[in-house]
Amino acid sequence: MITKERRGDYLGATVQVIPHITDEIKNAVKRIAPGNDVVLVEIGGTVGDIESLPFLEAIRQFRREVGKENAIFVHLTLVPYIAAAGEVKTKPTQHSVRELMEIGIQPDFLICRSEKPLQDDVKRKIALFCNVDFGAVIESPDVPTIYQIPLVFEQQGFADRVMERLRLTAPTPDLSAWRTMVQRVTHPREKVRICVVGKYTDYVDSYKSVQEALIHGGIANDVGVELAWTSSDLFTGPEKAREILSHHHGLLVPGGFGVRGVEGMVEAIRAARELQLPFFGICLGMQVAIIEFSRHVLGLDDSHSSEFAPECGHPVVSLMNSQREVTDKGGTMRLGAYPCRLQRGSKAAEIYGQSEVSERHRHRYEVSNRYRERFSEQGMRLSGLSPDDSLVEMIELPAHPWFVGCQFHPELQSRPLRPHPLFAGFVAAAHARRAAEASAAAAPLAHGKQ
């Protein structure tokens, strides 16, 4: 909209929320509609908040334009359970629906989040006061894993009712693979403990994609993944790092921005390398692995990232020459999908099972090419490079059971039925570590019996 105004498309007219912003919201939906049978659009926020009003107005207009038979409204609402009274309360749902109706939106379906199962009399009350059919009140109860929810919806015939309202037909879905996947999540044959060391561990939703991708990796190996969200500030030295990691089967260091906590990550990665503990570094995690290797293997004590220490003697992670004159941070970031060529015979190529992949990026700084030869000479394999060999995308240590770093964000492409190969491989390595520890612990007992 701003671009259109600067270009003069509005011919000097006053630019307003309605119709200009609402038109652009509708256009965003229309742009992705061609070629699709159904477009699912989430309107975030809470009904009544100022931020969401333009979006609600936009979808109200949208339905009038395309017709009621081509657009339905599904409202997600909370039905809280009051433990002191021993009952659920429907007033919040009634009030939120009333707020919607005041701006011209009548929900067709209500998905009711609830701690306790909803009895039929509660559903009838919600249907009556919210002006929807009894069958349009869909439960979304608390479950052990979010992946159970599609099965819960299917049991209530939610998809069939939506298809009926949109006048669509489709074959009965085969959910057997999904059910098997849920079974693996809820009843794994074994469990592994992964230590996730990052900056934002107090707010684990910051790593939601990483968390889910690790669960997907567990699904691929039929093991449960227990995550220990650990602040990097706790890794105050080599002995402390070894002590913390001794209780885990793998270490993952995810992405992040800023210098805080980097020294703790260095100690954690050093301990994982020396203890032969499976390690997976993503984005910043790979860059810190480069810093750690430079300091403790190459002997470059004054090595760092120029992002954190611009005056350091050995900026092993830095901006590329083409980025140095760009002052806007967004202009220097690598965003979106980029190809990565994998070195033949590397662990990366073995994990992916192919020679070139495409992965999504979100970062500014890169591994400095000035030190690539030194890394290789001391045993680090630069296993993934950009097609023109100018950028390091993946690293690994061949002498280590599983030590892999990647500059991109593989978690963004992982799915429960299609776990990302790197996460599946990492969890498999952690499981192997667990099995080795169990075998070593059992050996003295067996010897004693003999």
Domains and CATH numbers, the chain: 16-177 (3.40.50.300), 189-436 (3.40.50.880)
**pLDDT tens for each residue of the chain, 450 residues long:** 888 888 888 888 888 898 899 999 999 999 999 999 999 999 988 888 888 999 999 999 999 999 999 999 999 999 999 988 889 999 999 999 999 999 999 999 999 999 988 999 999 999 999 999 999 999 999 999 999 999 999 999 999 999 999 999 989 999 999 999 999 999 999 999 999 998 777 777 889 999 999 999 999 999 999 999 999 999 999 999 999 999 999 999 998 877 788 999 999 999 999 999 999 999 999 999 999 999 999 999 999 999 899 999 999 999 875 555 555 544 467 889 999 999 999 999 999 999 999 999 988 899 999 999 999 999 999 999 999 999 999 999 999 999 999 999 999 999 999 999 999 999 999 999 999 998 888 776 555 555
Which pairs count as long-range contacts for 288-294, CB under 8 Å and 24+ apart, including other chains? 288/253, 288/262, 289/253, 289/395, 289/403, 289/405, 290/316, 290/317, 290/367, 290/375, 290/395, 290/405, 291/262, 291/266, 291/316, 291/317, 292/266, 293/375, 293/378, 293/380, 294/371
Which of 366, 361, 363 is closest to 336 using CA atoms?
Answer: 361
The pLDDT, as a whole number, for residue 447 is 57
Tokens of 300: 């470059």
Residues annotated catalytic, as ranges: 283, 409, 411
The DSSP letter of residue 415 is B
The pLDDT, as a whole number, for residue 200 is 75
The pLDDT, as a whole number, for residue 113 is 96
Residue 48: exposed, middle, or buried by beta-carbon count in 10 A (0-12, 13-18, 19+)? middle
Whole-number Cα distances in Å, 272 to 34, 36, 345: 49, 47, 23
Tokens of 259: 């210098």
